[in-house]
Amino acid sequence: MASELHSQHTGNSYPSDQQSLRLRQDSSPVSNQNYPQFNWSSSPAEDEVDNSGPPRDLRSIPLPMSLKRAVWQVQQMQVPVVSKVESWKWKKTKSLHKLKDRTRGFLYFITLWGKTLQKIGGNFGGGVQSYFLFLRFLVVLNFLSFLLLAGFVLIPSIVFRSVGTSLQNSTGPEECMNYNPNPEGLVVFYHYFLDFLSGTGFMEYSYLFYGFYNNTIVEDRSFSYNIPLAYLFTAVFYFAFCLICIIARMGTAARVAVATGGSAVGNYSKIVFIGWDYGCLGDQATKLKQKNLHYRLQVDLEEERLRKQAAALTLGAKILLYSLRVFMFFVALGLIFAAFYGIFEATNFSQSRTGEEGILGLIFEYLPSIVITAGNFVVPMLCDQIALVERYSPSTTVILALLRAVFLRLVSLGVLLFTLWRQITCEGDTNSQDCKQCQYNNKLYPCWETRVGQEMYRLTLFDLLITIAVLILVEFPRRMVVDNSSNMLTQWVGRQEFVVPSNILGLVYGQTVVWTGALFCPLLPFINTIKFVILFYCKKITLFYNCRPALKTFRSTTSTFFFLVVLLFGWGLALVVMIYSLAEIRPSMGCGPFRFFPSMWSIVPTSFYRLSQVTQEFLFFIGSQAFSIPLFTLSCVVMCYFIALASVYGNSVALLRSQIKLEGRDKQFLVKQIEKLKQLEMPKQ
């Protein structure tokens, strides 16, 4: 059979591994061909035919089709010989394969933007594609969250609003009940637009915000639905759901990052062997890719030379460089704190001027957003300039710039929330004059939850408006100027690059705002879904019309993990806000589903004691030490097992590597021996 295969297939001859050494060694004296030719196909085919064990997946054998077919036919004939169990196993794997293929085909049809992503990857490389993949992940996450919120809160609220009983609070003081969200009668048309932008007026008392939801409880003989409880649990599950999604994605990214080792070892080999993207379409993209690779190789070689120079640097020069770095670090820190102070002041000012009307009022309301956006725009640019002076290696520079930007983005949001907190709870002092009556500042905030929701709604909307404005007012004109003028300056400025890290951070920030606001504005995930879909198309347009591929390519594997970690930071910030507002602050007495309760969480114990005895005992058991300690121990044992397994694998990898080196030395030794023997034989002939 094997010989038959050979004769069928002589065209594609390529020597086998065992022969290679011999052939290479004696190629110069003996060979009458230009190159020794090697038969790649011979060895695996023979193995396959001789092998009576379970057949390998034919598709993964590198043979031409005619040979594969021959092997397949042999396999088909062999099937009856195999035992029943094995043939059953074989059939099972085959049907599994088929199922997998089908699902893959099906998934391909429902995957969002599959073709677009492929096109982006082909034209701009994996780094930019990773941004769009991240964006798609967030869109799907937000949409699923919206379905969760809609299913358990929104739809029941709409359905039961007329059916259920909703009670008015009559226990608290009269002043705290005052909440009248629609004070004005007739409004001018342009007011609608202003209201839409700031979430006030007709928007305020709607399903969009916390204040509109009622404390409806529907109770039938067989069915009961408690809206406040559903509201609370949905929010908690929303957070858990997002955490699970992020962790699952992180697991994949981590596996990839660990597999690569993430180190600089094999850097040049990687660029040369893996650098080419076969999905590149068109001459333009090919040329750019080639330029890109050329640049990268040159820079890396240059960097290596610089590193060698730096190692030989004198002590004085080193001290100068390090002191410069420390100084620049403090400058960057100072910039960031200046930005914080600006945000703090702006929020205070904006909150003290809430009564203003018209355009001026709108500006005052949007002032914190404007200052935050300006800060996030200016400070990273300055930090980038600082990074140039610091002269770190390029990879460190990227990480440093990212960390500074993350810090600025998330903490500036924290400052905004802190200012809001100070005014809602009178700096945490419930005995002060403003807060004495209702335990929150009821004069400024008759329904403080709605107010926080509005703030987050504005931040979300403002972020989108800024992106669109920048697209229309900055990016398009820039491209037109650059393309249509041959001025030295404009050519030097050039088209913009698509900077992946800062764009990703924008997404993380937007998502954090949504998480923070989701408790107070249940429709925010839905708004964010729409926002991110619009963002996807905006970014795609600007990418294809305004951007040139980045000169510095962006490594996608390790950074995916880093982005998810940053996303987790945002999640953590939002979680702190949620836990604090659930447990500590008194819910508004005049609005919302929790108007009776001293804190939002207190509804849980209240409803818990209304459950049946058995359920209560079961839940108590799950919470008790008798259950949790064994569970904890078990998880520890499982974890230890996996850690041990990992270290064993690591050891065997190290062993195998040293073995390869030894074998190599053996091989060289044998080659030398062969050469010596040959020289001995030569004179005899």
Partner 1 sequence: MGATASQLGKDLLSEYQELTFLTKQEILLAHKRFTELLTREERDLNLNTRVPMARILTLPELKSNPFRKRICYVFSTSEQKDGSLTFEDFLDLLSAFSDSATLEIKSHYAFRIFDFDDDGTLDRGDLEKLVNCLTGETDDTQLTPDEMRQLINNILEESDIDKDGTVNLSEFQHVISRSPDFVSSFKIVL
Check: CB of residue 603 under 8 Å from CB of residue 232: yes
Distance CA(176)–CA(156), nearest Å, equals 27
Q: Give me 205's structure tokens.
A: 């008392």
Cβ proximity to partner 1: between 37 and 615 the closer is 37
Among the listed residues 225, 241, 252, 244, the one whose alpha carbon sits nearest the alpha carbon of residue 525: 241
Measured at the CA of 40, the angle between CA 36 and CA 42, to 5 degrees, comes to 110
Distance CA(361)–CA(350), nearest Å, equals 9
Q: At what angle do helices 227-260 and 556-583 cross, to 10 degrees?
A: 160
Residue with tokens 């009622």: 214
Number of helices (H) and strands (E), helices first, in the chain? 25, 4
How far is CA 332 from each of CA 318, 408, 448, rounded to the nearest angstrom? Answer: 21, 11, 36
Count CA atoms closer than 13 A to 360's CA, side-chain side. Answer: 5
Residue with tokens 């044998």: 670
Check: CB of residue 495 under 8 Å from CB of residue 482: yes
Measured at the CA of 109, the angle between CA 106 and CA 115, to 5 degrees, comes to 140
Cβ proximity to partner 1: between 270 and 318 the closer is 270
Cβ proximity to partner 1: between 182 and 286 the closer is 286
Cβ proximity to partner 1: between 11 and 316 the closer is 11
Give the sign of the dihedral formed by CA 497, CA 502, CA 506, CA 507.
Answer: positive
Minimum CB separation from partner 1 for residue 112, in Å?
A: 17
Cβ proximity to partner 1: between 126 and 201 the closer is 126
Minimum CB separation from partner 1 for residue 412, in Å?
A: 34
Minimum CB separation from partner 1 for residue 1, in Å?
A: 18
Among the listed residues 455, 409, 521, 539, the one whose alpha carbon sits nearest the alpha carbon of residue 138: 539
Cβ proximity to partner 1: between 73 and 647 the closer is 73
Check: CB of residue 61 under 8 Å from CB of residue 44: yes
C-alpha dihedral, 206 to 209 to 215 to 220, nearest 10°: 70
Minimum CB separation from partner 1 for residue 48, in Å?
A: 13
Among the listed residues 72, 46, 50, the one whose alpha carbon sits nearest the alpha carbon of residue 59: 72
Among the listed residues 5, 630, 581, 620, the one whose alpha carbon sits nearest the alpha carbon of residue 239: 581
Minimum CB separation from partner 1 for residue 675, in Å?
A: 13
Measured at the CA of 501, the angle between CA 497 and CA 502, to 5 degrees, comes to 75
Could you give phi then psi for residue 584, rounded to 5 degrees?
-105, -50
Distance CA(660)–CA(401), nearest Å, equals 41
Cβ proximity to partner 1: between 443 and 667 the closer is 667
Minimum CB separation from partner 1 for residue 79, in Å?
A: 13
Cβ proximity to partner 1: between 58 and 370 the closer is 58
Distance CA(488)–CA(476), nearest Å, equals 20
Among the listed residues 46, 33, 259, 237, the one whose alpha carbon sits nearest the alpha carbon of residue 152: 237
Minimum CB separation from partner 1 for residue 59, in Å?
A: 5
Count CA atoms closer than 13 A to 604's CA, side-chain side. Answer: 11
Cβ proximity to partner 1: between 117 and 245 the closer is 117
Minimum CB separation from partner 1 for residue 35, in Å?
A: 5
Minimum CB separation from partner 1 for residue 69, in Å?
A: 7
Cβ proximity to partner 1: between 29 and 355 the closer is 29
Distance CA(234)–CA(149), nearest Å, equals 6
Cβ proximity to partner 1: between 10 and 633 the closer is 10
Residue with tokens 């229309």: 472
Cβ proximity to partner 1: between 425 and 553 the closer is 553
Cβ proximity to partner 1: between 34 and 484 the closer is 34
Minimum CB separation from partner 1 for residue 559, in Å?
A: 12
Minimum CB separation from partner 1 for residue 647, in Å?
A: 19
Minimum CB separation from partner 1 for residue 371, in Å?
A: 40
Minimum CB separation from partner 1 for residue 268, in Å?
A: 4
What is the end-to-end Cα distance of the chain in Å, rounded?
40
Secondary structure element (H or E) that encloses residue 334, with its range: helix 315-352
Q: Give me 605's structure tokens.
A: 């114990």
Cβ proximity to partner 1: between 305 and 318 the closer is 305
Minimum CB separation from partner 1 for residue 254, in Å?
A: 12
